[in-house]
């Protein structure tokens, strides 16, 4: 899977890397890396894109990476997330099939490479907008990569994962030579929320408490009643929780509750990964987070060490979720660290 560019480098494990990756050029997935939503990632090149009209001019667009959303207004198009550089031109092409209006805005839900990798393409014609921390983390990625990747390359070598070694090494080379001003970070940022008015639609952009990262935003189209959750929602997929980028398991509960309090029960919901869902989908994901925290709390209260907890912890109800094998224990470990 792709590359690890704006991925704050700071990932805990090889499986974490696979999600927080980015791409200037795509590379094939290192063998054995999980895909957060296999149903999106394993499509053949011809049918990689799927566009779902959700009413009121809002569409979900699935390609490879974090799900894209776009809104066709009377004068312009607004896009949410840009996946990877190599497929960004294809995203633009899909949007052009729906509307010939100019693409004027790109919102980034957070800084991970599978959501901002295509920014380089969009910056040529669109204003890129995101939370302050998205810009900060994208601009600090060369420093972070140079600090963290040499050790990660060593452990990938030890594990015999040649593809990972190659991908990480390429990233490190990029980090050593890139000029900061070349990084296609958002040029307009906000600290808590923002509204964009297009025709009779009001687009609400809300920064949430630290959950997936500390720069997460969700976007709500008031009239269309469509919500784009970014990676604050993985639908029937085990999340990657990027604690090194300020994410938090407990924070997920706070973030999800904030959203649930704001949007109506009949809203349609685009997750960062997984299929389009509804408010019940958010509640099911919230239950997963609550269950992980609960398991960690019980173990800690019983005096179990983290090591012993991670040896036995299992939540069979979520076994069918994508990425259970690869990311569940990482979620459980983070939860153990956070509970008292």
CB of 8 to Zn ion, least distance (A): 10
Task: Tell me whether residue 83 or residue 201 sits nearer to Zn ion (CB atom).
Answer: 83
Q: Can residue 327 be called a binding residue for Zn ion (CB under 5 A)? A: no
Binding-site member from 3, 40, 112, 207 for Zn ion (CB under 5 A): 112
CB of 221 to Zn ion, least distance (A): 21
Task: Tell me whether residue 59 or residue 112 sits nearer to Zn ion (CB atom).
Answer: 112
* # binding residues, Zn ion (CB under 5 A): 2
Ranked by CB distance to Zn ion, the top (closest) residue is: 112
Residue 46 CA to residue 254 CA, distance in Å, equals 40
Task: Tell me whether residue 73 or residue 251 sits nearer to Zn ion (CB atom).
Answer: 251
Task: Tell me whether residue 142 or residue 215 sits nearer to Zn ion (CB atom).
Answer: 215
Q: By C-alpha distance, which of 50, 47, 118, 27 is closest to 81?
A: 118
Residue 317 CA to residue 294 CA, distance in Å, equals 14
Task: Tell me whether residue 111 or residue 268 sits nearer to Zn ion (CB atom).
Answer: 111
φ, ψ (nearest 5 deg) of residue 267: -70, 145
**Coil/strand/helix, residue 269:** strand
Residue 62 CA to residue 273 CA, distance in Å, equals 9
CB of 287 to Zn ion, least distance (A): 21
CB of 20 to Zn ion, least distance (A): 6
CB of 100 to Zn ion, least distance (A): 31
Task: Tell me whether residue 113 or residue 281 sits nearer to Zn ion (CB atom).
Answer: 113
Residue 269 CA to residue 315 CA, distance in Å, equals 25
Contacts with Zn ion in 194-253 (CB under 5 A)? 231
Residue 82 CA to residue 85 CA, distance in Å, equals 8
CB of 212 to Zn ion, least distance (A): 5
Task: Tell me whether residue 66 or residue 73 sits nearer to Zn ion (CB atom).
Answer: 66
**Coil/strand/helix, residue 155:** helix
Whether the Cβ atoms of residue 202 and residue 245 lie closer than 8 Å to each other? no
Name the E strands within the chain. 50-53, 58-62, 68-72, 77-80, 103-107, 127-131, 188-190, 193-198, 201-207, 217-221, 226-228, 268-270, 277-278
Residue 195 CA to residue 160 CA, distance in Å, equals 48
CB of 297 to Zn ion, least distance (A): 26
CB of 314 to Zn ion, least distance (A): 25
Reading the block at residue 227, the tokens are: 């919500």
Alpha carbon of residue 37 to chain centroid: 11
φ, ψ (nearest 5 deg) of residue 127: -80, 125
12: number of Cβ within 10 Å: 17
CB of 84 to Zn ion, least distance (A): 13
Residue ranges binding Zn ion (CB under 5 A): 112, 231
């Amino acid at each position: 899977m792709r590359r690890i560019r704006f991925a704050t480098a700071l990932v805990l494990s090889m499986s974490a890397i696979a999600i927080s990756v980015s791409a200037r050029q795509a590379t094939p997935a290192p063998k054995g890396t999980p895909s957060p939503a296999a149903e999106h990632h394993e499509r053949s090149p011809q049918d990689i894109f799927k566009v779902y009209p959700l009413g009121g001019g809002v569409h979900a667009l699935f390609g490879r990476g974090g799900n894209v959303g776009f809104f066709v207004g009377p004068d312009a198009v607004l896009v949410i997330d840009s996946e990877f550089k190599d497929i960004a031109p294809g995203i633009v092409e899909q949007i052009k099939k729906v509307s010939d209006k100019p693409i004027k805005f790109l919102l980034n839900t957070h800084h991970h490479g599978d959501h901002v990798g295509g920014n380089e393409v969009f910056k040529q014609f669109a204003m890129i907008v995101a939370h302050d921390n998205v810009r900060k983390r994208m601009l600090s990625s060369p420093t972070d990569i140079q600090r963290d990747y040499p050790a990660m390359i060593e452990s990938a070598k030890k594990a015999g994962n040649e593809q990972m070694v190659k991908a990480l090494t390429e990233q490190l080379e990029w980090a050593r030579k890139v000029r900061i001003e070349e990084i296609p970070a958002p040029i307009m940022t906000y600290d808590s929320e923002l509204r964009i008015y297009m025709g009779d639609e009001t687009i609400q952009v809300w920064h949430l408490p630290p959950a997936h990262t500390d720069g997460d935003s969700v976007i709500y189209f008031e009239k269309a009643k469509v919500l784009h959750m970014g990676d604050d929602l993985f639908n029937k997929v085990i999340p990657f929780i990027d604690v090194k980028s300020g994410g938090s398991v407990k924070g997920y509960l706070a973030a999800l509750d904030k959203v649930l309090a704001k949007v109506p029960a009949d809203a349609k919901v685009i997750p960062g990964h997984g299929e389009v869902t509804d408010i019940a989908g958010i509640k099911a994901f919230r239950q997963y987070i609550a269950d992980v925290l609960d398991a960690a709390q019980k173990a800690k209260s019983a005096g179990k060490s983290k090591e012993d907890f991670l040896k036995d912890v299992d939540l069979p109800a979520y076994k069918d979720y994508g990425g259970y094998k690869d990311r569940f224990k990482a979620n459980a470990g983070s939860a153990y660290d956070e509970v008292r």
